Structure 1
Amino acid sequence: MEDINNLIPLDEVILDNRNEEELFEQARVRVFNSSQGTLNDFTENSPLASILQGQVFAGAEFLFYANQLPLALVVDFLKVTGVQRNLGTKAKVTLTFSITAPQPVSYVIPAGFEVVDVTSKYSYFTDSTLTIPPGLTQGSITATAEEVGSAYNLPAYSINNFIQPLTFLAGVTNTANAAGGTDEEPIATTIKRAIEQLNLKNLVSATDYELAAQEILGDGSRCKAIGLLGAQKQPGVLGAVHLFLINANKDPANDAQLTQVKSALSSRIQLGTSLYVSPMELINVSGDLIAELAEDVSPTEAADDLWQAYQEYLDPSTYPIDEDVILNEVEYQLRLTGVINKIQSLELNDLTSNIALPNAYTLPNAYSLTMTLIDSEGVVWEMNRGAGEFPDFEPTP
């Protein structure tokens, strides 16, 4: 499936991108020119070079922190909004301890007992005291990773060593994966998440729903929100909001896009609201035109221009919702091309009348246009555009 959105991130703000080498070279040239060549010993470890290097270091340090200013301003602003950064979580795992033989009394493994993986790199500590009852040789208990991070999400049977030996303790292992460890959230991710939350608002009006859905599907998409319309398009359903969608390619939204929109908007609807999504319904409109060709216009050029005007007017992404297709309006759009002088007849779907749209979630779609064009010498040219058009078709009288 194609990406629905075509977006690029904003460029990072750098107040000054010069490094120490560039600063030193610019300082060397400046000193040399200002002294008219008197100060010219810039060899390594020379007094003049050492002084300049110290000054350049101080300048580079200043620029380093100055370049952090945009980020610092954003972070300080987000502090006011109550945004918090996720510092990561520690992985959890269930450990099974085994002893050499059943004991006459309870066998106790203290809380905080340390175990490590096969590489001895990752440590886990038991969350509480494990008591193995008399007569048993195994017991299980949860343990927590020493540090935060996804690196501690180790596979099953990989945590099987212990640091401090205990009498009668035979072994330890994890029969299931360690899980739940997450890394510290990068500051850029925190900012992105915070800004998304700031932009988030509950959906109330039809316009709110329509704009939100169109933002998800991308430029060129279309949404019609209808209240009180149920899942089966039955009217009068209290709390129902039904969205009808066209994607950025001007086609009815597919299943994946419908799911994407519903998932993204479900958390933003008000309590008691039921959200439904469906593809916009289209009525294909086939036109049949008979017209006089304008002077000095080739039939092919005229056919292309007429088809383009026909498509632009009956474009489902821009056509007014809940408005019938008016025959005279289509004629007007075709005459505006300037490639025909007079329209003798125009039929839409074999009718010389308007096309009524059955509901507010149905739009017209330019399907085909058959054209009979008559030039000034009475020669008749017949062409077709859209459905049924032949590739590389050259019209003949």
Structure 2
Amino acid sequence: MKLASKILNITLAVVVLCTLVAAVGSAITKKPILLSVIRSNSMYPVWERGDMVMIDNLTKQETIFYGDIIFFKAENGSLATKGWIAHRVIGGNAKDGYLTKGDANKFSDQETDETGQIKRSWIAGKAVMMGDQPIVFKKIGYLSLWLEKYQSNPLVLPAFALILGIIIAIGELKPGQKRKKRSKGKGMELPLIYLIGGLSISIIVGGTMIASSYTLNQIYEVSQQSQGVLVGSDVGMLKIGDSVSRDLSEIKNEGIFPLIGVITTNDKQIQLSHQKFTLSKGQQINTSYIVTAQVPGRYKATIKVGLFFPLLPAAIIYFLAEKSYWLALAIVSLIPGLPLILYPFIDGKMRRKTLSVIRKKTRKLQRIF
């Protein structure tokens, strides 16, 4: 019974984690992120309603291949009323649009709807595959489906998660016999709940920031004497000494929280119009960059536009992002979940119990290996 109880607690913790990522992440970003709950059986037997699927969120430059299962939201036709759809690509291309079809459907989406081919800009991501099969978590998305009625207000679910964490913390801070009885024999279960809760908050925050950030890869060439056009390049071939200005993006804060924007590049010949900036609610800026041809050669420049919650000073976030965008993302994301993650090591009794269990598990592993 004790083993069954532990398995049940761990399973519930994983379900809560996945549900928070899917429900809160999509509620804030208005698109599927990291995980998506399946709402129909149009892709049976690949997955069914209530399953949860891992998503690879795509940048605008990433290629889509035939056979990929994409997540898209049509902007016209009857498909536009169905929200996010996950169907397989059976034809088309990025320029003209894609042909799609649910595996369980007799006809393609284009044969049954006036929407036409699916535009590249409508696609948020594609299913993460392991071999020729997507990564699917069976039936654990039903809780997220039940929570969807609260998604009209993107603050409800984060507030719910925060309140839940506060209630747990207050309950653990209360002294007395009741707490002793409750914590007796719990081993790693309670610390695991704190860990899962903290990681859930961090994943939600990180996923939201990833969804609002993107990467531009720009290929160009610098020549001693000639100028010209390169296929797939907005800059083309430049002669030494030439400078070319290009628009980068229009960035707008459509959320309710202020954001810190950071733009970095790995190319010293590129000058950015903005490197770090703060966007208040509703504020918008237009960004651009200038390429100054200095050294002959062919270049593949990367420009990373990142938007971060103001959990650290802008100067620190920019310093971290210059080292690595993912380093900055990890550190900023970790901050709101850190109190819950660290609490099992701050509380004296829980710390001793946690360390004791860790030592026992370590000794068992040492005996095995």
Alignment TM-score > 0.5, same fold: no
* CA radius of gyration, larger in: 1
Higher RCO by CA contacts (8 Å cutoff, separation 6 or greater): 2
If each structure's helix is expressed as a fraction of its own residues, which one has the higher value? 2
TM-score, normalisation: structure 2: 0.21
TM-score, normalisation: structure 1: 0.20
